[in-house]
Amino acid sequence: MSDQFYFRALLSGRDFARDDPTARAMLNLVYALGDRETGEALLVDPAYRPDELVSLVRADGLEVTGVVASHYHPDHVGGDTFGADIAGIRELLEIIDVPIHVQRDEVEWITRTTSVGADSLVAHESGDIVRVGAIDVTLIHTPGHTPGSQCILAEGHLVSGDTLFIDGCGRTDLPGSDPEEMYVTLCQRLSEVGDDVVLFPGHLYSSEASANMRSVREFNFVLAPSTREQWLAMFA
């Protein structure tokens, strides 16, 4: 399966949207994953220049057949942020007609941020599997940063959006954030993910773009507290 599995990380402002100062400043990582044999691919968080992202996947010989949104923030799905209008899933849907896979708890937030109707979104429960070609992609509901944040697990790759970074985790002081949920996400909901799985976060906030969960568990300070009380005292 490893040769069949297509996986690509694309850094905003460097690999695409090079002329966009917001994209350069935000250091978002967009991921394309799919099945090289069937030529189908999913884009995770196609913001800034969805047209370029679709073209980059096409240049690799695959077609984007679906989108997964990690959460509602405009640097991941498009929308207005601090006066900047970021392109995202709304503009992508003008190019290609594909399902947008989201967690059920994020639907209202994404529709509000992007003006994409709920009928264009596929609402999922935690543990749902989306198939792309012969590849199973598991969606894990990981609230905390936002109510319906999700991580995407496929072929030993965990695409984590703004839930978990190599150093640190997503902010829990934003609209819809919940520090208690983040604690449960980090210490329980993601505890099933194996040590050999490699973490691919939604921003390049570390010198390394990815790391296996064994080293993240060893070195990431947000995974250090051993009790809920300790965690909340440090990070809430």
SS3 track for 163-202 = CECCCCECCCCCCCCCHHHHHHHHHHHCCCCCCCCEEECC
- Say if strands 63-68 and 40-44 run parallel, antiparallel, or are unpaired: parallel
Stretch that binds Fe ion, among 16-24, 36-44, 159-167, 177-185 (CB under 5 A): 159-167
Q: Is 203 in the site for Fe ion (CB under 5 A)?
A: no
* 28 phi-psi bin (left φ>0, alpha ψ -120 to 50, beta other): beta
Smallest separation, CB 115 to Fe ion (Å): 18
Stretch that binds Fe ion, among 11-19, 27-35, 157-165, 216-224 (CB under 5 A): 157-165
> In the complex with Fe ion, which residue's Cβ is closer, 62 or 141?
141
> In the complex with Fe ion, which residue's Cβ is closer, 65 or 150?
150
- Give the separation between CA 173 and CA 70, rounded to whole angstroms: 18
If you write DSSP's letter for every residue of 67-114 in order, what string do you get?
EE-S-S-HHHH-EEETTEEE--HHHHHHH----EEEEGGGHHHHHHHH
> In the complex with Fe ion, which residue's Cβ is closer, 6 or 165?
165
> Is 212 in a helix, a strand, or coil?
strand
Report which of 111, 103, 109, 168 is spatially closest to residue 140, judged by C-alpha positions.
103
Binding mask 160-189 for Fe ion (x = CB under 5 A): --x---------------------------
Smallest separation, CB 139 to Fe ion (Å): 17
The CA-CA-CA angle for residues 151, 140, 136, to 5°, reads 90
Site for Fe ion in 62-81 (CB under 5 A): 73
> In the complex with Fe ion, which residue's Cβ is closer, 65 or 142?
142
> In the complex with Fe ion, which residue's Cβ is closer, 5 or 109?
109
Stretch that binds Fe ion, among 34-42, 61-69, 112-120, 158-166 (CB under 5 A): 158-166
The DSSP output letter for 38 is: T
Smallest separation, CB 42 to Fe ion (Å): 19
> In the complex with Fe ion, which residue's Cβ is closer, 16 or 72?
72
Structure tokens at 113: 């941020």
- Give the separation between CA 117 and CA 110, rounded to whole angstroms: 9
Site for Fe ion in 206-235 (CB under 5 A): none
> In the complex with Fe ion, which residue's Cβ is closer, 65 or 146?
146
Binding mask 82-121 for Fe ion (x = CB under 5 A): ----------------------------------------
Q: Which residues here bind Fe ion, judged by CB under 5 A?
A: 73, 162
